[in-house]
């Protein structure tokens, strides 16, 4: 994959990741309704400004939790500011990862990797870490942008995930995207 596709979306572009148009095109409730349930622990890897993290926090309810993970402190600050003073702040744990390591210790039921896997420098290590974080039958929803990730590159990503121990559960249709559900 081209090196330019591995660049992380800068904090200055966060508005393009969380706006009314994006919420309409990639409605978190509609995309996640079959996968995120009350009481779950969900992981939003590459959470950006929190479009999906905040909706997942509503979906997991008071007994669940969302771990919002991003490489950039600025993205996590955006979420922190959005949830300040709101009840859901208690359901969202903000976690800054490293370039090549997520470093979470608890087991999760669900992982969302929305428009970020193509930015990961070592996908094998990424998927091994995701697989080890998943509970039995835990699911991973990978969504990649068609405008950055070719069909071949997406297939390569899926093959790496399978080599790391994940298996294909279901193909999904997501507007402007390539998407798949994998499981532990």
Q: Where are the domains of the chain?
A: 27-183
According to the model, what pLDDT value does residue 83 have?
95
The burial class, CB within 10 Å (0-12 / 13-18 / 19+), for 76 is buried
The angle, 0 to 180 degrees and rounded to 10, between the axes of the packed helices 51-60 and 73-83 is: 50
According to the model, what pLDDT value does residue 100 have?
86
Q: Which CATH class is domain 27-183?
A: alpha beta
According to the model, what pLDDT value does residue 4 have?
44
The answer to whether 125 and 100 have CB atoms below 8 angstroms apart is yes
Q: Label the pairing between strands 41-45 and 92-96.
A: unpaired
According to the model, what pLDDT value does residue 12 have?
57
According to the model, what pLDDT value does residue 167 have?
97
Q: For the chain, list residues with pLDDT below 50.
A: 1-4, 14
């Amino acid at each position: 994959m081209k090196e330019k596709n591995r660049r992380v979306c800068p904090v200055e572009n966060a508005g393009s990741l969380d706006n009314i148009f994006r919420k309409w095109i990639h409605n978190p409730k509609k995309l996640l309704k079959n996968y995120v349930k009350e009481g779950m622990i969900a992981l939003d890897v590459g959470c950006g400004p929190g479009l999906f993290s905040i909706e997942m926090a509503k979906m997991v309810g008071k007994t669940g939790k969302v771990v919002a993970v991003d490489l950039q402190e600025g993205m996590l600050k955006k979420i922190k500011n959005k949830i300040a003073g709101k009840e859901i702040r208690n359901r969202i744990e903000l976690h800054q990862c490293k370039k090549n390591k997520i470093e979470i210790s608890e087991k999760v039921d669900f992982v969302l990797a929305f428009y970020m896997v193509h930015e990961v420098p070592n996908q094998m290590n990424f998927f091994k870490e995701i697989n080890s974080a998943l509970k039995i039958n835990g699911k991973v929803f990978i969504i990649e942008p068609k405008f950055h990730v070719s069909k071949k590159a997406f297939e390569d990503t899926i093959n790496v995930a399978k080599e790391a121990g994940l298996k294909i559960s279901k193909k999904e249709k997501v507007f402007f995207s390539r998407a798949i559900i994998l499981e532990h």
